[in-house]
Structure 1
Amino acid sequence: MTNETPPPGWYPDASGARRWWDGAEWAEDLEEAPVRQRNPLGVVALAVALFALIAASLSFPQVFTWVVSFISVGLAVGALCLPGRGRGSAIWGIIVAVCAFLATFVLSTVT
């Protein structure tokens, strides 16, 4: 029966960092886990889309709501192209912007 040890390299530590294993013992050196940067553009796109939806429900002019909706979609697409977190907010920004765009048609035919 052989007692095989893992090869030298960086391995996860209980603290969330990574620790160096030299093949015989653990080193004191720690490598911090990389932190993914948050992409705030997705949140901005969602906020602008919500503003467009509120503007549509308050009977703002259609053109204004359309422009704000398209700006929101542009911001969201830009957020999806950038690395980092924030994709969920960008996707919701697109969904809400489309809802705001469609709401202008529905509300204009009702009134």
Structure 2
Amino acid sequence: MSMPAGWYDDGSGRQRWWDGAQWTDDYAPVQGAGSAQPAAEAPAPAASAPVTSAPAATSRPSPVLGFVGLGLAVLGTVLACIPAVFGLGMVVLLAGFVVSLIGLFKKNAPKWPSIVGMIVSVVGGVIGAIVLVVSLVANLPSPIDTAPATNAPPSTSAEPSDPPTGESDSRPSPEEIAEGFAATIRAGGITTYDDMPEFYPCVGQYLYDSELSDDALRLIMAGGDPPEAERETAEKAIGNAVLTCDPQASDPSPQP
């Protein structure tokens, strides 16, 4: 019958721990010289045995929501920087922000992915809005580039600045003004408004209703410069006509 675990004399005069099956390397402390060692001791209670306690393993939940929100924030930032899909990018950024916010309140999970996801969502939205505004401003047509008053080619007439002679004294019709203005624009190499069927009739009607004289309108129709006294007025009228009749113009309100 095997002896129970406890401290016993191993034959060398010292107390040694018996684990119930074999001797271990644990020895009891040596007592003073005057004390007598018992030949054998009763089995010690199990609580006196050396026990090595291992720390309980603690596990923290994985921050899945934080990483998902961070991924959505990065994807939304990329999409928001593309003007064609800016709206979709903003939706993805909003989803990334909400998911990151939910992950921030998950107990015992690391918080840094959620915090980074929220920051990236906000910064991505700002960057995407800036890129969209810059893209829109860069694509707006410049009124200076489309104004034919200063960039119109020289007229083929021998004396473009002289008032026409032998012509009718009546005011040109809006259709005649539109045709002459269109011919002048196309002669300058500008074909932007050929796809806008209402543009030239609108310009013709606008110039017809302006304060320009009949002679100034005929000169503009012929591609020449209006009289010196009406040159500034003609430039403003043409510029306002282009801005009013072009639906893609940046400021369609007439200039003062």
Shift of 1:24: 6.5
- Separation of aligned partners in 1, 2:84 and 2:100: 22
1:1-111 map, 5 Å: 26-111=50-135
- Give the AA of the match of 2:65: L
- Cα 1:95–1:27 change in 2 (3 A) is same
- Answer whether contact 2:79 2:86 (CA < 8 A) is retained: no
Aligned length: 89
Structure 2: any 5+ residue segments left out of the alignment? 1-46, 136-256
- Give the AA of the match of 1:102: V
- Cα 1:95–1:32 change in 2 (3 A) is same
- Separation of aligned partners in 1, 2:66 and 2:54: 33
- Give the AA of the match of 1:57: C
- Give the AA of the match of 2:75: F
- Give the AA of the match of 2:95: I
Shift of 1:78: 0.6
- Answer whether contact 1:39 1:84 (CA < 8 A) is retained: no
- Separation of aligned partners in 1, 2:86 and 2:133: 12
- Write the deviation string for residues 80-101 of structure 1: whole angstroms up to 9, x where unpaired: 1111333101111011111111
- Separation of aligned partners in 2, 1:80 and 1:25: 47
Q: TM-score, normalised by structure 1?
A: 0.69
Structure 1: any 5+ residue segments left out of the alignment? 1-22
- Separation of aligned partners in 1, 2:88 and 2:63: 27
Q: TM-score, normalised by structure 2?
A: 0.32
Q: Which has the larger radius of gyration?
A: 2
Shift of 1:26: 4.6
- Separation of aligned partners in 1, 2:50 and 2:116: 45
- Separation of aligned partners in 2, 1:31 and 1:87: 25
- Separation of aligned partners in 2, 1:60 and 1:41: 29
Higher relative contact order (CA 8 A, sep 6+): 1
- Answer whether contact 1:65 1:100 (CA < 8 A) is retained: no
- Cα 1:26–1:66 change in 2 (3 A) is farther
- Cα 1:60–1:41 change in 2 (3 A) is farther
